[in-house]
Structure 1
């Protein structure tokens, strides 16, 4: 739907395209894995119109698969499927995802880290430790806040007796070496630019505190969970029932609550004292469905599974349709010029015409408004792309 309706890419996507062509490790905001993915999508397709939406949904789909793999290890196949069917009912996996940025690029890495960490903590061999180190290191290139999940994971690894016993083998340390090797270039670049992303984060925090209510972040998170709670009720998972025949083990439940809810709750509490962007918590809700099924899944029968599947289908269709309808109406009837409403192709062509009427050389730099200049710099139909300022 976004590829059919949106005339131009969303703001963060345009910015990602601008940075992606430079192939830098780091900007003053973030590491640049999402920008590399956007640039790769353009190089493969030659388009700025639809590939970014495809990449966004690939990351969401990968997150679904990884959450299923973790839930299957913890709860079995049936409950794992139920947990994944709950995920489309979460706001964070629907409406905002067309704007592919660092918050959504993190999602599969957070899910993969949770799965791999559980595997290594329960006796996984050297391959699992190496994979955990690699994924953890690459996850930092999506966004530095992946480090928050790594901190929670390290605390669990040290506090869980069974997981801690694995530390006497050489494999955890080999995995740590892989992580350090992967993350080292990013750390060196962060030092080289004088830790500018931290300066940006501090400025962003101040802006949020000055322009948002102190409870704004928590309000957005709670609102984003409303559909999830509604579907739990519709499926009958909130009703009273006898004690579970197959209770979830204490260790499993502790892991899910700690890794699945811990980072989200910590950021909510922190948001009362410092700024937090409303989308920053997006990857922190990957395991909410798994937690719900772990607590309520003993009530899960054929009828409940059918209701979950129907609700998931309805949410996917309804949100996609609502996105298309609202975006089209705002752009074409109400005149609200959001980023996706601007005719990127026409702006780019006009910039080329004006430039070549005045100068014979190639247009290399486009300066101007922060919304319009990058669209002119995209030059969707030509390989002669510019860099905006």
Structure 2
């Protein structure tokens, strides 16, 4: 079946260039410059990664497949990247940009199959209007890793459903399985993919062969480890999703408003792209494209279906807005396809070239300048934002404190995930994270390990978790201050130093096994901290 019909033999290649260089150069320019800028500038402005990135970095130091929050693929990738490039801020920023760039490439490849190169590039270059494809590059997390896997699955499914070639079916199965290892919301697009195979006659016809069966078998085999690990955690991550939605989700009306606003901004960016093509110099040959009905159906189902389903669920129960991040990836292509379907005469203008790449890049860099400028202004004003904390200095100082007391490298850092994470991130000892002294959240922690390695327990006045005063009184304690910016805003970190050999079975029984969740732990008040500071040293 012909996906698109054209009166020009150029297949939408911008400005009439039919070479591979001409096909990829606008997108390549955009992606390379964006990656360099969004990696280099934030690395110079900020002092620490975002909280999710810090948590992932420390999770990666202990093997797991799924924990109480998420599957492990983003942590694995970040740990591997740190092993290659060292534990530096630019590493996580570059890794986020690589994920975003891969998503753009898959959008372009899918759009080229469905609409032709020029319209596909236009549909891809409206994505800077979505913060998940720009600002999210500052916070490497599960949503960012899921972006290329989501659209990669859709691209593979389209290619697979047009042929019986085993490589494309295996590629689709691999994208689907890897998506589950990134985030469980991948199940939504996989479900719509299965629906597409059932509803589409050409795709359904492939089921008579053995190729889809082999791909399904591979998919199931790849999911066995995560299914076993999920059962071993008593499905804690699914329970966490429910609690997180209730605690931090937004009502359905707000969800609908925010999604609608983003789509309108994308539509405005598309209109701007059409207008640019009408500006001189105009060297666009006549170009006609008829969007195939099957291609439009695919975009509607796979591009719009998951978003509409999420909106429907948000009307029933609160939802986290960022969980819709990968669902925007095909909206640009869908808008272009709907435009061409309704207004075929606009085909001459509904394509992108080098000038569109430059304009998209300008929009992306303007967003970067805004965030970098806001951070510099906050630093100058003495506002100690988390991203401005001097992570390298914090790690180095606590390494010296630990080394002076124990003579050993720091192996375990405990506390809330942000404070403990930023202390341990760049530590030479590469310590593991013991979140809130909760063994369920940190299954790699054992009595023997704590007795052998000890731990540094840290918190701040604003921490979500603090130790019980009785625990804090038993061990060496102190407070360290770190300056942020020219106004010398101070970040103060309190700590308990529990040296190797000091932790006992009784301590484990009292402070860990009965810990429960972070919300149930008694917390050290500001007056308790001051009292400990007055007594100084080790409790008598």
- Taking structure 1 as the reference length, the TM-score comes to 0.92
User: What does residue 208 of structure 2 align with?
Assistant: 168
Q: Any idea what SS the aligned residue of 2:139 has? A: coil
Other structure's SS at 2:367 match: helix
- In the TM superposition, what is the alpha-carbon distance from 1:195 to its structure 2 partner? 0.6
Q: What is aligned with 2:77?
A: 37
CA distance in structure 1 between the aligned counterparts of 2:370 and 2:142, rounded to whole angstroms: 24
Aligned residues of 1:217 and 1:271 also touching (Cα < 8 A): yes
Q: Using the TM superposition, name which of 31-40 and 124-133 deviates more.
A: 124-133
User: 3-state SS of the aligned residue for 2:415?
Assistant: coil
- Distance in 2 separating the partners of 1:113 and 1:125: 16
**SS of residue paired to 1:96:** helix
SS at match of 1:66: helix
Q: Which whole-Å CA distance do the structure 2 matches of 1:341 and 1:109 have between them?
A: 31
Indicate if the aligned counterparts of 1:231 and 1:308 stay in contact, CA closer than 8 A: no
User: Any gaps of 5 or more consecutive residues in structure 2?
Assistant: 1-40, 277-286, 436-540
**Aligned in 2, Cα 1:116/1:6: closer, same or farther, shift over 3 Å?**
same
Aligned residue in 2 for 1:241: none
Q: Which moves more between the two structures, 254-263 or 94-103? A: 94-103
2:362 equivalent in structure 1: 314
Greater relative contact order (Cα 8 A, min sep 6): structure 1 or 2? 1
Deviates further, 90-99 or 252-261: 90-99
Match of 2:149 among 92, 101, 109: 109
Is residue 2:417 matched to residue 1:365?
no
Instruction: Name the CA distance, whole Å, in 2 between partners of 1:287 and 1:74.
Output: 12
CA contact (8 A) 2:173 2:215 kept: yes
Aligned twin of 1:254: 297
Q: Which structure has more strand as a fraction of its residues? A: 2
Q: How far apart are 1:11 and its partner, in Å?
A: 0.5
Whether 2:307 is the aligned partner of 1:264: answer yes
| Alpha-carbon distance between aligned partners in 2 of 1:304 and 1:215, rounded to the nearest angstrom | 34
SS in 1 for 2:352: helix
1:109-134 deviations in whole A, cap 9, x for unaligned?
11111111111211241111111112
Match of 1:367, SS state, is: strand
Q: Is the 8 A contact 2:55 2:417 kept in 1?
A: no
Match status 1:343 vs 2:386 = no
- Superposed CA deviations along residues 262-316 of structure 1, whole A, max 9, x for unmatched, are 1012112211221211211110111111111112244243696366334312212
Residue 425 of structure 2 is aligned to residue 378 of structure 1: yes
In structure 2, the partner of 1:286 is 329
Name the SS of the counterpart of 2:125 in structure 1.
Answer: helix
Distance in 2 separating the partners of 1:304 and 1:255: 20
Q: What is the DSSP-based 3-state SS (H/G/I as helix, E as strand, rest coil) of the residue aligned with 1:305? A: coil
DSSP-derived class of the 1:30 partner: coil
Question: How far is the alpha carbon of 1:3 from its aligned partner?
Answer: 1.4
CA contact (8 A) 2:413 2:431 kept: no
Preserved CA contact (<8 Å) 1:378 1:386: no
| C-alpha contact (below 8 Å) 1:9/1:48 kept by paired residues | no
How far the C-alpha of 1:378 sits from its partner, in A, is 1.3
Query: What CA distance in whole angstroms lies between the structure 2 residues aligned with 1:145 and 1:83?
Result: 24
Bigger share in helix: 1
Q: Is the 8 A contact 2:288 2:348 kept in 1?
A: no
Number of aligned positions between the proteins: 381
1:1-389 correspondence to structure 2 within 5 Å? 1-209=41-249, 212-236=250-274, 245-297=288-340, 298=344, 299-301=346-348, 305=352, 308-330=356-378, 332-380=379-427, 382-389=428-435
Give the Cα–Cα distance (whole angstroms) in 2 for the partners of residues 355 and 148 of structure 1. Answer: 47
- How many Å separate the matches in 1 of 2:351 and 2:149? 30
Secondary structure at the residue paired with 2:407?
coil
8 Å contact from structure 1 (residues 363, 386) kept in 2: no
SS at match of 2:291: coil
Distance 1:106 1:384, change over 3 A: closer
Superimposed CA distance per residue, residues 335-357 of structure 1 (whole angstroms, 9 cap, x where no aligned partner): 44332111111211222233233
Deviates more, 1:312-321 or 1:8-17: 312-321
The answer (yes or no) to whether the contact 2:252–2:319 under 8 Å persists in 1 is: no
Shift of 1:9: 0.7
Q: 1: CA distance between counterparts of 2:349 and 2:191?
A: 39
CA gap 1:265/1:334 in 2 versus in 1, 3 angstroms:
farther
Give the Cα–Cα distance (whole angstroms) in 2 for the partners of residues 71 and 237 of structure 1.
21
SS at match of 1:247: strand
Question: CA, structure 1 residues 369+165, in 2 after alignment: closer, same or farther (shift >3 Å)?
Answer: closer
TM (norm. structure 2) is: 0.67
Q: Which has the larger radius of gyration?
A: 2
Aligned-pair Cα RMSD in Å: 2.2
